[in-house]
Copies of this chain bind each other. A is one copy, B any other.
Amino acid sequence: MSHVQNIKAASAVCYGRHEPDTRSPLIRKLEAFVFLSRQDRTALEQLSAGARLVEPRTDLQRDGEMATDAVLVLDGFACRYKHRVTGDRQILAYLLPGDLCDVDAPHLGRMDHAVGTLSTCLVARISRETLATLMAQQPTVARALRLAKLAEEATAREWLVNLGTRSAAERMSHLFCELLTRLEAVGLAEDDGCKLPITQLDLADTLGLSSVHVNRTLQELRSRGLVELRGRSLKLRDLPSVRALAEFSPAYLRPAH
């Protein structure tokens, strides 16, 4: 089965067949922040038009180039990242289905980091004109996007705490809790588990660890009965314990609540 088919199957599961909720992930996400009118939703639906499948490990915005338009992820995992001249990579943020990134690209000059896919992704590019019109005509949507941005900033702060103060197992648990919570919000998680279409090397570059140590830590969490990661699917076997280990509290993902 090809990547493309994989993705289509996954989407089918998420958006329609088993799930009565047919809202797009972007709308689901924003409706966690604000109440959207029918027009708001219609306007948002239109952003998905022209979405395209993108191969894994493909840049969506290159470091150092002008940011032209915003990127909307509809399926798959993407990330912001930076490369050091040594070749090291640090992942700065995950872009999950429903995430609309670089809303204020227009202000921006050159990108100070890159954006790229981790897995195969379904993404739509939104021109700055489209975005400007949307923000002007649907103030509620504009407000929701601002709140989403605040959540992104709060997440960056959590990551700083993660990298600066937590042990490997704690860091990893925290990341898993965060991803699970965010995916739940867009209907892509159930039963304390979700798809995690990324490699251990990606995890390493997220957590500031070596891939060997990511592996070790994963085994440790598994043997403690906390977390299982097999194939590309993640399951938190003992959510309360994982949360406690990570000192995870989801409040930062819901600003102004």
Contact = CB atoms under 8 A, between A and B. Distances in A.
Given A84-B247, A157-B82, A247-B84, A90 B256 contact: no
A164 B146 CA distance: 27
A160 B154 contact: no
B163 A160 contact: yes
Contact of A208 (B110, B112, B165): B165
A204 B31 CA distance: 41
A17 interface: no
Contacts of A85: 247
Range for the number of chain A residues in contact with chain B: 35 or more
B161 A84 contact: yes
Given A165-B208, A208-B165, A256-B108, A157 B156 contact: yes
Contacts of A257: 109
Main secondary structure of the interface of A (DSSP, over half): mixed
Scoring A82, A89, A165, A247 by chain B CB atoms within 10 A of each residue's CB, the highest score goes to A165
A159 B84 CA distance: 13
Contact of A255 (B109, B163, B207, B251): B109
Interface of A: 80, 82, 84-86, 88-90, 92, 104, 107-110, 112-113, 146-147, 150, 153-154, 156-157, 159-161, 163-165, 205, 207-208, 247, 251-252, 255-257
